[in-house]
Chains A and B, each alone.
Chain A
Amino acid sequence: EAGVAQSPRYKIIEKRQSVAFWCNPISGHATLYWYQQILGQGPKLLIQFQNNGVVDDSQLPKDRFSAERLKGVDSTLKIQPAKLEDSAVYLCASSLSPDYYEQYFGPGTRLTVT
């Protein structure tokens, strides 16, 4: 079974530029999550999708971050414009359903904003 795929693995941009991350969850997983992991901290949930609908985006800075999950499969997370404090690893995870406890994580995208 293929795992959660993410790209790119690394990205360096200047502040005020825009960037997009892509995630392909495990086949058949209805729930998809995006997390932000700042160096030295645990992952923090940004947004959760159930199929192609958003069920929790309370921690997403909506003035600069956006996310979509077209057709309930792949997802993209965008930052525009980026700030220095957005430097972090962005993790995508998926699970069978929102009340199923086990989440499967991708390798993450390490973003550096200079």
Chain B
Amino acid sequence: GDSVTQMEGPVTLSEEAFLTINCTYTATGYPSLFWYVQYPGEGLQLLLKATKADDKGSNKGFEATYRKETTSFHLEKGSVQVSDSAVYFCALTSFSGGYNKLIFGAGTRLAVHP
């Protein structure tokens, strides 16, 4: 079945460092790809999305490009802040039984220190 694999955390960075969180996927068909973020004590929030190959999703300084040839959707940010500390989930939509279903990776915890 469809699945998402993320790099294991935690990822620990200093403020203003460059961030990459790797995400690869396995899917039949043409899924849409997402990054969700979960701040401490809060629910998941959609961070960015890409719906077709070569699309680039971006939001709040984060970017990810839908790479069909490498089945990847890596999350990047040029300069992280302490406020970016959170758990990041890569996800895809899997069409099944007439409905779209979100399938999540295991999550990657990011800790940014001053």
Binding site for B on A (CB under 8 A): 3-4, 40-45, 48, 50, 55-56, 91, 93, 98-99, 101-108
Contact = CB atoms under 8 A, between A and B. Distances in A.
Contacts of A43: 44, 89, 102, 104
Contacts of B105: 42
B46 A102 contact: yes
A16 B98 CA distance: 36
- Chain B, interface size category, equals 20 to 34
A99 B91 CA distance: 16
A45 B2 CA distance: 14
B49 A56 contact: no
A103 B32 CA distance: 13
Contacts of B99: 48, 50, 55-56, 98-99
Contacts of A3: 43
Given A55-B99, A98-B99, A101-B100, A42 B41 contact: no
Interface of B: 4, 32, 34, 36, 41-46, 49, 51, 89, 91, 93, 96-102, 104-107
A107 B101 contact: no
B45 to A, nearest CB: 7
12 contacts: A40-B106, A45-B101, A48-B99, A56-B96, A98-B98, A99-B99, A101-B93, A104-B43, A105-B36, A105-B45, A106-B43, A107-B43
Contact of A56 (B4, B42, B97): B97
A91 B43 contact: yes
Contact of A103 (B98, B102, B107): B102
B100 A98 contact: yes
A105 to B, nearest CB: 4
